[in-house]
Structure 1
Amino acid sequence: MARFGDTFLSNPLYAGTIRRWARAARQADIVDLTVLRRQRNRARLLRHHLDRLINKADERLALPMIGSTGFAKPHNADWAWRPALWRGPLAEKGRASVPNKARLGDEITLFHDCAQSELTLRQLRNLRREDLAPYGLRLDVFSFDGSFLSLVVDLPESGWKGLKRNHLLRLEAIVELEKPLEIFARLNIRHGPNTEQIVRELPMEQSDMRVEFDLAYSSINEKRVEAAWIDLIFEGPQMNQVVLRDLTFSRRPRAQI
């Protein structure tokens, strides 16, 4: 059997097969009916396999590539990152009746104070052509009897090591909501015994959201930064579905004036 690889299209067997089917199509008006019936049955069987191949190829080639880290970054960014949940498949795809401080993957934790949890978290595969992230995260909230709900993303050491007060930290998210909802992003930077916090509200006018944290207005001790994380805080989340199609971070030094 001929090898189905990069040179298959130029393979003599493939070229001969194409010529035979092209000739059969040209002679369909004059060929004997017995032969035509046999050709039709073979063509239908061949078409079945070809359609399956084409459909699967179209599906896979249209999807964002697993492991993708590509996204638009500021031209002078010295760090950029997409969390693992949005890059590749997790061993645990999701959780139902999610308890407080439940983790999904190594970087994502859900915090709430519900007496009865009616929350679900699930990683999903992004299927839209415009998506750059291979995966997304869906949060379903049904009845909600708590006073707060937040999704915490731990930034890696590469994101906070060397952090300076002249840095701008950018968060970008693609969010789909079942109904309008206020979402706040809170940057937390632990430096020594203290934790600096900066809060920004995500703009809800469009699905592609961006906020920046200007560390020039903070009082961090640059020499003692030892951890950083982001809280995504959902206000009034009951009976809603939130899909985070993408979540990325980058930082860049402020332009010198």
Structure 2
Amino acid sequence: MSEMKPGLLDRVIQQSALRRFRRWAETARHADLRELRRNRAAARRLKYHLDELIYVADDRLGLPVLGNQAVPVPYDADWSWRPEAWCGPLSVQGMSAVANKAMLGREVTLFHDCSQSELTLRQLRNTSADDLAAYGLRLDVFRFDGSYLSLVIDLPAEATVGLKRKHLIRFDAIVDLERPLEIFARLNVQHGPNTEQIVRELPVTDRELVVEFDLAYTKLNEKRVEKVWIDLIFENPDMSQVVLRDLYFSRRPRAEM
């Protein structure tokens, strides 16, 4: 008898188990109750392992290909960061009829003043070889009766350490739009009782966006920096879909003159 190829026995056992569970499922309505109880217990034990396999497989297969894990930042950057919603699975991955000030994860908050919310916000997996981030974020807007809609990303405390007016804060994103839409990015830096703000319009004619905020044009009190966050402001978002495939930040000192 010739030697079995590696894995062949496993496939035979797998097919046998599959046929057995298929037969149990087909005869479940008429099976003896004692037999049905025993089959249910076996199915539940198997389901636990199947769910674990599917969860881990989906998570790993949703990641970008090897080699695309790094955040591409300027060579002289002294800090960089990608929010958690674009890095790994959130415990709650989506919301519908999103309420004002609703948070998705620990760093993303949606603000609006709709009397009736027809907004959905959902984390999705990036699977294209061109995607750098493992996950993306999709915002769907149906009927919109409000006057403002913004997505706020809170930057971590590390972004405030050593932050000075000589710094440029850079914002990189990959954005897919269902239709042309005006989007503004507003940098907010809280220092003591005051907040410095810089607004830039995103060049949405390009899918890959780069925006820089120059702190030299602010009155930042470098000794009292407490918090940094970004507002993404959507103008006239009625009946639109925005997919933020990637989002990351970096900071670098301006070249000395």
CA contact (8 A) 1:62 1:129 kept: no
Match of 1:245 in 2: 245
TM-score for the superposition, normalised by structure 1: 0.76
List alignment gaps of at least 5 residues for structure 2: 16-56
Q: Secondary structure at the match of 2:103?
A: strand
Is 1:166 matched up with 2:166? Answer: yes
Match of 2:120 in 1: 120
Q: Answer with 1 or 2: which has the greater Rg.
A: 1
Structure 1 residue ranges, 4+ long, deviating more than 6 angstroms after superposition: none
Counterparts of 1:137 and 1:61, CA distance in 2: 18
TM-score for the superposition, normalised by structure 2: 0.76
CA contact (8 A) 1:144 1:237 kept: yes
Match of 2:107 in 1: 107
Counterparts of 2:105 and 2:65, CA distance in 1: 19
RMSD: 2.6
Counterparts of 1:99 and 1:61, CA distance in 2: 32
Match of 1:75 in 2: 75
Letter in 2 for 1:95: M
Q: Secondary structure at the match of 1:165?
A: coil
Counterparts of 1:78 and 1:17, CA distance in 2: 57
Letter in 2 for 1:224: R
Match of 2:141 in 1: 141
Match of 2:232 in 1: 232
Instruction: Report the alpha carbon displacement of residue 240 of structure 1 after superposing the two structures with TM.
Output: 0.4
List alignment gaps of at least 5 residues for structure 1: 1-15, 22-41, 46-56
Residues 163 and 76 of structure 1: is their aligned pair in 2 closer, same or farther, counting only changes over 3 Å?
Answer: same
Aligned length: 210
CA contact (8 A) 1:141 1:241 kept: yes
Instruction: Report the alpha carbon displacement of residue 61 of structure 1 after superposing the two structures with TM.
Output: 5.9
Residues 194 and 131 of structure 1: is their aligned pair in 2 closer, same or farther, counting only changes over 3 Å?
Answer: same
Deviations 1:37-90 (A, max 9, x none): xxxxx9xx8xxxxxxxxxxx9x95684169x86121000100000000000000
Match of 2:52 in 1: none
CA contact (8 A) 1:174 1:207 kept: yes
Residues 227 and 62 of structure 1: is their aligned pair in 2 closer, same or farther, counting only changes over 3 Å?
Answer: closer
Q: Secondary structure at the match of 1:158?
A: helix
Identity %: 65
Counterparts of 2:123 and 2:131, CA distance in 1: 15
CA contact (8 A) 2:153 2:230 kept: yes
Match of 2:49 in 1: none
Q: Secondary structure at the match of 2:223?
A: helix
Counterparts of 1:211 and 1:110, CA distance in 2: 21
